[in-house]
Amino acid sequence: MQTYITSHTASYWIEKLGLEAHPEGGFFKRTYESAGEVETKEGTRPLSTSITFLLRSQDVSHFHRLQSDEIWYYHGGSSLTVHVIHPDGAYEAIQLGPDPEQGEVLQAIVPAQSIFGSTVNEPNTYALVGCMVSPGFDYADFELFKREELLALYPQHEEIIRRLTLSS
């Protein structure tokens, strides 16, 4: 049975939610920024921020790193894989989606300082998710990686690095 969320196209949600192209890939809109602030080593940040994020199956969210933890919430569409390279070099593929029988979870945490990106699991679909960052997101804390950088650091993850990075 098709749900309301999946009965619409990616274009429908991009328009209705006012999503814009994201530098890492996909489309987003900031939906929340806390009024409270916290001091970090990178400067003053909101306590938390949240976005709605849509990724189409023909796109990828390129490998990037944040200085804060990020919690992902599944909203609709296809399931999504969040590809994580932890600071110790270990790789993890988190399945974000509605089917626990398939190993999917409705929410997942990407720890601060991890390198991560995402892909939609089904062709010709999209994934609609929410992402909450604490302390709050600031582009000064956002690091997008080039292929050569990551291959030098993590040659054991060459296949996924080639898929989720741009060459220099």
By C-alpha distance, which of 122, 115, 120 is closest to 150?
A: 115
The span from the first CA to the last CA of the chain, in angstroms, equals: 44
| Backbone angles phi and psi of 108, in degrees to 5 | -150, 155
Instruction: Tell me what pLDDT residue 3 has.
Output: 47
Distance CA 122, CA 112 (A): 28
Distances (CA, A) of 68 to 27, 50, 143, 154: 20, 12, 12, 22
Q: CA-CA distance, 147 to 46, in Å (whole number)? A: 31
Q: What is the pLDDT of residues 87-137, one digit of tens each?
A: 999 999 999 999 999 999 999 999 999 999 999 999 999 999 999 999 999
Task: Give the CATH number of domain 22-164; options: 2.40.128.20, 3.40.50.10490, 2.40.160.10, 2.60.120.10.
Answer: 2.60.120.10
Q: What is the pTM of this model?
A: 0.93
Domain definitions of the chain by residue range: 22-164
Average pLDDT over residues 136-144: 92
pLDDT tens figures, 55-88: 999 999 999 999 999 999 999 999 999 999 999 9
Rounded to the nearest 10°, the torsion over CA 24, 29, 35, 37 is: 0
Residue 2 has pLDDT above 60, yes or no: no
168: confidence class by pLDDT, cuts 50, 70, 90: low
For residue 5, what pLDDT is reported?
59
